[in-house]
Amino acid sequence: MRILIIEDDHTLSAQLKKGLTREHFTVDTAKTGVDGAYRGTEEFYDAIVLDLGLPDMEGLDILKQWRAADRKTSVLILTARGDWHAKVVGLNAGADDYLAKPFEIAEVAARLHALIRRAHGQASPILRHGRLELDLAAAEVRLDGQAIRLTAQEFKTLACLMRHAGSIVSQAELTEALYAQDFDRDSNTIEVFVARLRRKLGANAIETVRGLGYRLGLQ
């Protein structure tokens, strides 16, 4: 799950990135409204965390710009505690949820999980495909009811494939889901993660569609 944080407070931005990375999110950050507006328009994200109090550009203006351009990415806005007017205006402008500062990272993660599930038409945090079950909230995977230990990147790879079960997911899409924009990406690592998942879940767990990508094959 790839998200963008638009927050000019360097300390808070770093805390959010560190905490959400531990929760298995792939995190990009933008320190200015201009940069954030551009990334939110040109890049794909499962959700965006948007601070309304940016120094160079109003967060609400960014949100309105995205919605006017029919960008449907889920947006969680950050506001000062007690600023109920900003919350109402933000929701009316197209935000999907809000959080008042200060907050706990765990709550941010829970809100983002809920927004992403809602965007995919999924009420539960558990993804299922045949004998395979992946719990997004608990970061657990079970095959035939037995727990399977995965690394963070293996978990993200499997989650992306399960969200698109039945469809082909390109190597580029998996790379985008796994790595932040400022990371030195190497698409060959996707092949490594897929190979590891096959060893843990079974040789037929993931199908390679030559020239196109991968598809979840486990039933």
Between CA 96 and CA 195 the distance in angstroms is 37
Q: How far does Cα 64 stand from its chain's mean position?
A: 21
- Compare 66 and 102 and report the one with higher pLDDT: 66
Q: Percent of the chain having pLDDT more than 70?
A: 92
- Residue 163: its pLDDT value, please? 84
Exposure string (b/e) for 82-96, b if CB count within 10 Å is 16 or more?
Answer: ebeebbebbeebbbb
Task: Tell me the CA distances in angstroms from 155 to 3, 45, 50, 125, 136, one per residue in order.
Answer: 16, 18, 26, 14, 9
Question: In the chain, what are the domains?
Answer: 2-119 (3.40.50.2300), 126-216 (1.10.10.10)
Q: Pseudo-torsion of CA 192, 206, 117, 5, nearest 10°? A: 20
Q: Where are the beta strands (DSSP E) in 20-139?
A: 26-30, 47-51, 74-80, 97-101, 126-129, 132-135
For 15, 18, 108, 177, 204, the CA distances from 50, given in Å and listed in that order, are 15, 17, 12, 20, 41
Q: What is the DSSP letter of 169?
A: B
- Order across the sheet with 2-6: list the strands: 26-30, 2-6, 47-51, 74-80, 97-101
Taking each helix axis from N to C end, the angle separating 59-68 and 33-42, rounded to the nearest 10 degrees, works out to 20
pLDDT digits 0-9 by tens, 30-86: 999 999 999 999 888 989 999 988 889 988 999 999 998 888 899 999 887 666 777
pLDDT tens digit sequence for 13-43: 999 999 999 888 989 999 999 999 999 998 8
Percent of the chain residues topping a pLDDT of 90: 40
Q: Show the tokens assigned to 211.
A: 């020239």
Torsion of Cα atoms, 83 then 88 then 90 then 96, to 10°: 120
Name beta bridge partners: 148. Answer: 141
Instruction: Answer whether residue 183 shows pLDDT above 60.
Output: no
Structure tokens at 121: 């038409």
